[in-house]
Amino acid sequence: MEPGVFPPEGATVTHSLRILHTSDWHLGHTLRGQSRAYEHRRFLAWLLERLEEERVDALLVAGDVFHTSNPSAEALRMFYDFLGDVRRKLPALDVVVIGGNHDSASRLDAPESLFASQGVRVIGGLAHRDDPARALVPLHREGELAGWVAAVPFLRRTDLDGAVEREAGHAAAVRAAYDRVVSLADARRSAQQPIVAMGHLTMMDAQLSADSERDTTRGGQESLPCDLFGDAIAYAALGHLHLAQAVAPHVRYSGSPIPMSMSEESYEHQVLVADFEGANLEDVRALRIPRTVPMIRLHTKAPLSLDQTLASLRALDVMERPLAERPFLEVAVRLDRPEPNLRAKVLEALGDKQARLIKITSHRSESLGQCLGDRVVERELSDLEPLDVFQMLHEQKHGAPPAEPLLQTFRELQSELHAS
């Protein structure tokens, strides 16, 4: 069953194991300096209710728990408080968390003994490549062994077998890392126990977000083929991409629980519930996550003149609400000439309306004959990724974009920086 499609009312879905798959929480994320803590707290409260309501056997969190490798005390507390609430309300629930590219593997792994005492398995990284059993996690239903998880976190190049990568390429090295864990699971399971793979990676043909995922293929990790998850895998619970999607019927991205950028305003955010009957995937359902803070994108698809835009702002109708619940606002405007006081004019038109202005994009009117993607748009430094800046400086200094080997070296340095 496709994500978002529910069984007919009154229908009964039998299952021997039920998991809830989520990812890319990015706790600690800010949007142009605006905290997302309120949205994350509301999501975690909603998630706890769904775990109870759906009578889930296992919760799988497929990476990027935090937005940075050095999360704030507030973000850490949200994570720990949620795990504590889960254990108090659902003492039998299996919880499996893997690290993502935004997470610090060592920071996630540090409280491993404490997590283990609470029945929570967190695999931040594969520091011990020769011990694949560390990434193998049993799942239970009503106290009985019911399945296995190959909980493989985000794989940096230092986690891979260098000899395999040099001889057969990156995809083969990633496949070898999974095969070591899956072969262990295959040897230990019974014929009625499914193997679920977890991963934080980019699959070929997967759809990226317009801007919040510009760096997903820039961290030294290439896109991987779907046959990475072979016949032994009943379901692959993936993270890394914010748009919920099915790469194959059994290979799914749950997507992020809240929009990570204004370009994700139209996403239908969700978690996935997967049911297994014996070793086979029986059903996958999407549970829509309610949007707790609105996003308003004013004329971003067809920018209007400055006067028209200011008139739209004056007519904007937003209800009164506390600061943390006020909508985020992005404004696009078409300019006939440079406008040094643009932000002041926008703020004046907005007045005391309770919206948080986070971005103004200006388009030059001479670009009107072109498609929107070809228009000259003024870019702010906060819109740029480190790789963007590197490419621009290289072209400015040398008159040409950097060669691919140099770009790859830059990506690997970025990846090592994230890991540290």
Instruction: Give the residue from 327, 334, 406 showing the smallest Cα distance to 364.
Output: 334
The dihedral over CA atoms of 349, 354, 355, 356, expressed in degrees to the nearest 10, equals: 100
What pLDDT sits at residue 395?
66
| Main-chain phi, psi angles of 410, to 5 degrees | -60, -45
pTM of the model: 0.84
Structure-token pair, residue 88: 């108090």
| Main-chain phi, psi angles of 41, to 5 degrees | -65, -40
What pLDDT sits at residue 275?
97
What pLDDT sits at residue 213?
57
What pLDDT sits at residue 417?
65
Instruction: Count CB atoms within 10 A of the CB of residue 366.
Output: 10
Instruction: Give the residue from 74, 59, 76 showing the smallest Cα distance to 22.
Output: 59
- Judge whether 113 and 213 are in contact, CB under 8 Å: no
Q: Check residue 296 and give left, alpha or beta (phi > 0: left; psi -120 to 50: alpha).
A: beta
Structure-token pair, residue 245: 């999607």
What pLDDT sits at residue 22?
98
Instruction: Give the residue from 269, 323, 321 showing the smallest Cα distance to 37.
Output: 323
Q: Which amino acid is at 255?
A: G
CA-to-CA dists, residue 38 to 27, 45, 96, angstroms? 11, 11, 24
Over the range 124-149, which residues count as b (16 or more CB within 10 Å of their CB) and which as e? bbbeeeeebebbbbbbbbeeeebbbb
DSSP lists the bridge partners of residue 298 as 331
Radius of gyration of the chain (CA): 23
What pLDDT sits at residue 34?
94
| Main-chain phi, psi angles of 244, to 5 degrees | -65, 130
What pLDDT sits at residue 183?
95
Distance CA 407, CA 212 (A): 20
Instruction: Spell out, as residue ranges, where the chain has pLDDT lower than 50.
Output: 1-13, 216-220, 367-379
Q: What string of H, E and C letters represents the secondary structure of the chain?
A: CCCCCCCCCCCCCCCCEEEEEECCCCECCEECCEECHHHHHHHHHHHHHHHHHCCCCEEEEECCCECCCCCCHHHHHHHHHHHHHHHHHCCCCEEEEECCCCCCHHHHHCCHHHHHHCCEEEECCCCCCCCHHHHEEEEEECCEEEEEEEECCCCCHHHCCHHHHHHHCHHHHHHHHHHHHHHHHHHHCCCCCCEEEEEECCECCCCCCCCCCCCCCCCCCCCECHHHCCCCEEEEEEECCCCCEEEECCEEECCCCCCCCHHHCCCCCEEEEEEEECCEEEEEEEEECCCCCCEEEECCCCCEEHHHHHHHHHHCCCCCCCHHHCCEEEEEEEECCCCCCHHHHHHHHHCCCCCEEEEEEEEEHHHCCCCHHHCCECCCHHHCCHHHHHHHHHHHHHCCCCCHHHHHHHHHHHHHHHHC
User: What are 125-166's pLDDT values in tens digits?
Assistant: 986 556 889 999 999 999 999 999 999 999 988 888 889 989
DSSP lists the bridge partners of residue 243 as none
Distance CA 150, CA 180 (A): 9
DSSP lists the bridge partners of residue 297 as 330
Distance CA 231, CA 345 (A): 60
What pLDDT sits at residue 381?
53
Q: Check residue 135 and give left, alpha or beta (phi > 0: left; psi -120 to 50: alpha).
A: alpha
- Judge whether 368 and 334 are in contact, CB under 8 Å: yes
Instruction: Count CB atoms within 10 A of the CB of residue 336.
Output: 10
What pLDDT sits at residue 205?
82
